[in-house]
Amino acid sequence: MSSSQSGPSSRPRSGYDQTLKWMLTRAHDGFLALIAPGLKWQAERSPEIPAVARQADLVWEVEQRDGKRGLLHIELQLKVEDDIGERLAEYAIRLWRRDHLPVRSVVIFLRKSQTTPSSPFVIAWEQQESLRYTFDVVRLWEIPQERVLATPEYTLWPLASLMAGVTAATTVRVAERLAAAPAPRQERGDLIGLLVGLAATPASRRILLERLRRNPMIDELLRESGIIQEFIEQGRLEGERDFALVALEGRFGPLSEDVRAAVAAADEAVLRELVARLTTDSLEQLRARLGLV
């Protein structure tokens, strides 16, 4: 069957744009030969582009020294996500379409990792690039904590938990400075809670909390902070996820990436069910419990 007779699109009833698209799809091979020689038509895909709701971490309107304005888009990564490059590119295009201001993107990796995605994000087909998006990368653990502690902006001091040179002793000193900061009690408690919560592991947070609560003022501020309770709960859930992964790998051997990702996203009830059914479930039943088919 020739290309003028093939193709899945049905004849539109009206509208020049629909008729034009129908005509081009109907004669796809001839149109490809005209605009992109060397490519072979395979199938028609839906032209609908889903409008998925997205929310960036921070978007600020900023001004350069020459007075030109633009948008600074900041993404904060506690856990390294491999798709961050394509997300930054997507956000930048959406922000440009919304505000028509130039966009500069910065991704800040908060916790130390052996590898992090690098700039630029590129979509290429053979030797031809169809998209290249450049972004800045900041690895917070490479920056000396003195740089943030030297600033009078005490609301930045909790970042010291994530920066080069951090120890339990330095974190205690930062907490003592925050306890004496010229801020309302609730704010001081939340900043100290954030300082503790940003510590690298649940175990280090527990040790740090034990040391800090020896100080009556800090202990009182922490008891009034909802943030520290949130981090404690998060740490407990992280511990359950780690336990579930170890137990599942002991039963089934190395897990596939989709299973590991599903366990990382599972809530407490699912994690407990996985562990409770560990000795009786098959791998297929495990995948079903995680919503994988």
User: Which residue bears the tokens 């495990």?
Assistant: 286
* 214, 247 contact by CB (below 8 A): no
Coil vs helix vs strand at 94: helix
Between these two residues, 54 and 66, which has the higher pLDDT value?
Answer: 66
Query: Could you give the angle at the alpha carbon of 105 between the alpha carbons of 102 and 106, nearest 5°?
Result: 150
Average pLDDT value for the chain: 85
User: Exposed, middle or buried: residue 24 (CB in 10 Å: 0-12, 13-18, 19+)?
Assistant: middle
Residue 179 has a pLDDT of: 94
When pLDDT is averaged across residues 115-122 and rounded to a whole number, the result is 92
Does residue 166 carry a pLDDT above 50?
Answer: yes
Task: Tell me the chain's radius of gyration from C-alpha atoms.
Answer: 26
Report the distance separating Cα 33 and Cα 268, nearest Å: 56
* 138, 109 contact by CB (below 8 A): yes
Tens digits of per-residue pLDDT, 222-246?
Answer: 887 777 666 666 666 677 777 788 8
Question: Is the torsion defined by CA of 80, 81, 84, 87 positive or negative?
Answer: negative
* Confidence tier at 30 by pLDDT (50, 70, 90): confident
Domain ranges (residues) in the chain: 1-48, 58-141, 145-224, 237-289
Does residue 37 carry a pLDDT above 90?
Answer: no
Residue 3 has a pLDDT of: 43
In residues, how long is the chain? 293
Report the distance separating Cα 48 and Cα 68, nearest Å: 36
Tens digits of per-residue pLDDT, 128-145?
Answer: 899 999 999 999 999 999
When pLDDT is averaged across residues 70-91 and rounded to a whole number, the result is 91
* 95, 105 contact by CB (below 8 A): no
Tokens for 67, please give them. Answer: 């007075």
User: Which percentage of the chain shows pLDDT scores above 90?
Assistant: 37
Using alpha carbons, list the distances in angstroms from residue 152 to 101, 145, 181, 260: 32, 14, 10, 43
One-letter identity of residue 168: A
Does residue 195 carry a pLDDT above 50?
Answer: yes
Nearest partner of 229 among 200, 269, 197, judged by Cα: 197
